[in-house]
Amino acid sequence: MKLEIMKYLSILILFCACSNVSFDQKASTFSNKGITSDALLDAKGNFYICGETSVFTSGKPSQAVNKDAFFVYSNDFGKTFHGYSYGEANQAERFERILTYDNSLILSGFYGDSKSKFLLRVLPEGKTVWAIQSEIYKTFDQGDVAVDPTGNILLSSKNPTDDAYLGFMHLIDKEGNCKWSKRMSAMEIMQDIICTRDSQFIISYKQKGAFIDGSTRKKYWMNSFHKINKEGSFIWSNKFHIEVDQASDCVFNKVLEDQAGNLYFIGRIELLKSKGHDLFIIKTNSTGTILWSSIYATSNEFAFKNACFHESGNLLLVADGYGKNGGLVYMEMKPDGVISWSKIKATANYEQVINILPGKNKYAIVWDKLLNFSTFTMDAKGNSCYTDVKEQIIERQNFPVLLDTYHGSWDPAVSDWKKIEISLLPHSEIPLTNECK
């Protein structure tokens, strides 16, 4: 498959999102006419957003409904954004995740009706270093990828022609060569992949089925997480066990590692007694031993979607009520799980938060709206230019979780990754709306 790359517009916006420049309290919406998937800040303060767009169709007929993959970036602290889209006639593409490595970007996504995986390394100004694709492997419902300091990329996928609960992992080097592919059984939901501070990888997923304790006959949901190295060897493997009689579901959308190597698993849990899901966090040490596990209950149904660390060591977390009653919740939390402050902004139930990005005592939030993506900035107490923000009351409750340590395993899998070409096309523009007059 030959993908095409279209460079579009430098957009002037009043937005600042970096670690050494203060934020103005601004809010902007971009009409990308598609889904927004990911956002990040790199170590230099460059700001990136990716997803899909139908603003441009890369040579497709004007009436085409297929969307192109896109990303925008800013290298001047958010004053000017440059954008690129990647697409091919007669099929859709989307970038699902965007990472940075050695002054370049790593972008993972899918193309076509079958959602086949592709991966590329590209310079911020749009020059492609390499690109690869697979015909066998497709994207998970939530695509995930991580890169280590030497450019090794760990990418998740699934194979629709194989068992529905087989997950596949691929190690791609910095030159775009697949070093190995592995398959793992009983993987129901891929949750997250991160690179740790010691340059290893952690894989987090919801496991299919339930564990039955032979002595008590109690049933437990299983949520597995493994630490592996770049050779594909397991360093350690653990499972969270959550009692079926207490909860009907539990999913972690994000894993974070702090300076000490402690891990935070953030997401949602659905208790049988609450008849809805609540915010949920498990904190472990560097080997997975549980330090604390807490439910954060509200009067509505929210799920943690993403988080990052403030320079103080506190967590900044974002949640939403997607598919429920809507609402965007954001908060600051101390390492012991105590909430410093929390707020809620009114949003529709089809809007999803993408990420929260830290600046110097300021934060920025990116979320996906209907055919648009929006950003807003706020101060250290969560104050922004919006007038529809309120304090969010949250009740913390301890929740028992058991830990099972075991020996992880997987098997070799077929690899069909091959290099592809990408070309650069002329530029155009997308509109910008300032939401705070």
Backbone angles phi and psi of 415, in degrees to 5: -120, 125
pTM: 0.91
CA 424 to each of CA 59, 140, 227, 321, 337: distance values in angstroms, whole numbers, following the listed order: 12, 28, 39, 39, 48
3-state helix, strand, coil in the chain (%, to 5): 0, 55, 45
Residues 266 and 247: their CA atoms lie apart, in Å, by: 16
Residues 277 and 247: their CA atoms lie apart, in Å, by: 9
Q: Is the pLDDT of residue 224 over 60?
A: yes
Of the pLDDT bands very low, low, confident and very high (cuts 50, 70, 90), residue 88 is confident
Q: Is the pLDDT of residue 428 over 70?
A: no
Backbone angles phi and psi of 423, in degrees to 5: -125, 165
Predicted local distance difference test score (pLDDT) of residue 435: 82
Residue pLDDT, tens place only, 56-71 = 655 555 445 678 888 8
Q: What is the average pLDDT across 74-78?
A: 57
Q: Is the pLDDT of residue 19 over 80?
A: no
Which one is predicted more confidently, 172 or 76? 172
Residue type, 322: Y
Q: What is the average pLDDT across 325-342?
A: 96
80-84, 101-105, 357-361 — most confident range: 101-105
